[in-house]
Structure 1
Amino acid sequence: MLRTNTDLLTFIEHLYTLQERKEDIILRSFNKGERLLEQDVKIGKVFIINEGVTKCYLTEENDKEYLFEFLGKGQIIGEIEALKSRACLCTVEAISAVSAYCLSASFFLSLVDKNLEINKILLQELTDRILHTSSRASFQQLYSLEHGLSKLLQLQEKEQIDLSRDDMAAYLGITIRSLNRALKQLKKT
């Protein structure tokens, strides 16, 4: 439920410390509620989360949100947009205080061109995303709503974050009304 990537974080931390003038990779802070990426907006940055938790979501034409994932330490965002030279596919918003390494798209692309290690890490990450997405889809089909909700509540407690009911419903792919019923059912057990 919370995606992390320690290999990428270790790699980028090492590059960050090797910089002489700290220009290619900078460490930025984001407050809770602040957006790192915004859907349909063109950006020129790639971020690797150092600390904190973000949510990655897509807003449909009917203004309903679908929450793909919660992203934590070592997760990369904006790489697809940099590689494809396109506007942001989705919005990524801090749900706790977040610090992230920020790379210009041009610096990121030069790393991809010249560094075999980052290519291996990115291939692993993209493969993990595909595997996780397919297993999450089957999980939502095969397990009860209560089971998924209990896992989400465990994540909230473990990470010490407050998820809104809107976020929980968007992640579970249900309405607020269904979420409220499921929460009530969980309290009874």
Structure 2
Amino acid sequence: MFDEIFKNTGKTKSFSKGAILQSAGQKLSKAYYVKKGLLKSYIIDEKGKEHIFMFASEGWIVSDIESQAFKNETVFFIEAIENSQVVIVEVGEFSQSEKNQKEFNLILEALAKRIGVMQRRILSLMSASAKERYEYFLQTYPELPNRVPQKMIASYLGITPEALSTIRNKITKRH
């Protein structure tokens, strides 16, 4: 569905696994639509620890919305976890697509989906157990456990890889 929107917008570029598409501190003016592959958006805290904010697989859009809206430096790194094909959209081009109401409505739908996922994630981080957060992760990203290392999933959930291993073992024993 979104491939049609981004076919004539932005520039498609291939990135190798481990490539950094965006670094914290940059003035951000781009959004990244994943046609193929997998990206992660993350921060690195003052102790050097990585905290994964989100994953973006095929059909997802990733960017620093706050940076774009307020023209601040971005706080996020965006990195290719797999070899990826990504449409890079300049903010100006992105807003020009608003002229086409159908495309604009689809973009709004994609952004609303992303905001909904983030909202549920924040509520989960505030109130859910680690096991419940992992179960929600599996619902949101069903294909990712086979595509990313356990330490990345643990980072996303805000737990240690050992805690995640314990949760996965308990779930496996239940089934």
Do the aligned partners of residues 142 and 160 (structure 1) sit closer, same or farther apart at CA in structure 2, a change above 3 Å counting? closer
Do the aligned partners of residues 43 and 178 (structure 1) sit closer, same or farther apart at CA in structure 2, a change above 3 Å counting? same
Do the aligned partners of residues 105 and 174 (structure 1) sit closer, same or farther apart at CA in structure 2, a change above 3 Å counting? same
Taking only aligned residues, the RMSD between alpha carbons, in angstroms, comes to 3.2
Identity %: 23
Q: Cα deviation per residue 1:28-69 (whole Å; 9 max; x = unaligned)?
A: 001112122222222443321111111222222333333222
Do the aligned partners of residues 143 and 119 (structure 1) sit closer, same or farther apart at CA in structure 2, a change above 3 Å counting? same
1:170 Cα shift? Answer: 0.8
Do the aligned partners of residues 118 and 90 (structure 1) sit closer, same or farther apart at CA in structure 2, a change above 3 Å counting? farther
- Asked whether the 8 Å contact 1:37–1:78 carries over to 2, the reply is no
Letter in 2 for 1:88: T
TM-score by length of structure 2 reads 0.74
Q: Cα deviation per residue 1:125-147 (whole Å; 9 max; x = unaligned)?
A: 33222322222344456655345
- Asked whether the 8 Å contact 1:96–1:161 carries over to 2, the reply is no
Match of residue 3 from structure 2: 9
Please show how residues 39-50 of structure 1 align to structure 2 within 5 Å: 39-50=24-35
SS of equivalent residue, structure 1 residue 87: coil
Is 1:104 matched with 2:90?
yes
Q: How many residues align?
A: 173
Within the candidate set 78, 87, 96, 1:92 is matched to 78
1:178 Cα shift? Answer: 2.2
Q: Which runs of 5+ in 2 are unaligned?
A: none
- Asked whether the 8 Å contact 2:38–2:55 carries over to 1, the reply is yes
Letter in 2 for 1:72: S
Match of residue 158 from structure 1: 143
Q: Which runs of 5+ in 1 are unaligned?
A: 1-5, 17-24
- Asked whether the 8 Å contact 1:36–1:92 carries over to 2, the reply is yes
Is 1:35 matched with 2:15?
no
TM-score by length of structure 1 reads 0.70
Do the aligned partners of residues 85 and 109 (structure 1) sit closer, same or farther apart at CA in structure 2, a change above 3 Å counting? farther
SS of equivalent residue, structure 2 residue 86: strand
SS of equivalent residue, structure 1 residue 179: helix
Match of residue 39 from structure 2: 54
Please show how residues 124-163 of structure 1 align to structure 2 within 5 Å: 124-139=109-124, 144-146=129-131, 148-149=133-134, 158=143, 161-163=146-148
Do the aligned partners of residues 161 and 91 (structure 1) sit closer, same or farther apart at CA in structure 2, a change above 3 Å counting? farther
- Asked whether the 8 Å contact 1:47–1:101 carries over to 2, the reply is yes
Counterpart-to-counterpart distance in 2, 1:160 and 1:178? 15
Do the aligned partners of residues 79 and 143 (structure 1) sit closer, same or farther apart at CA in structure 2, a change above 3 Å counting? closer
- Asked whether the 8 Å contact 2:64–2:74 carries over to 1, the reply is no
Counterpart-to-counterpart distance in 2, 1:135 and 1:156? 13
- Asked whether the 8 Å contact 1:65–1:170 carries over to 2, the reply is yes
1:94 Cα shift? Answer: 1.4
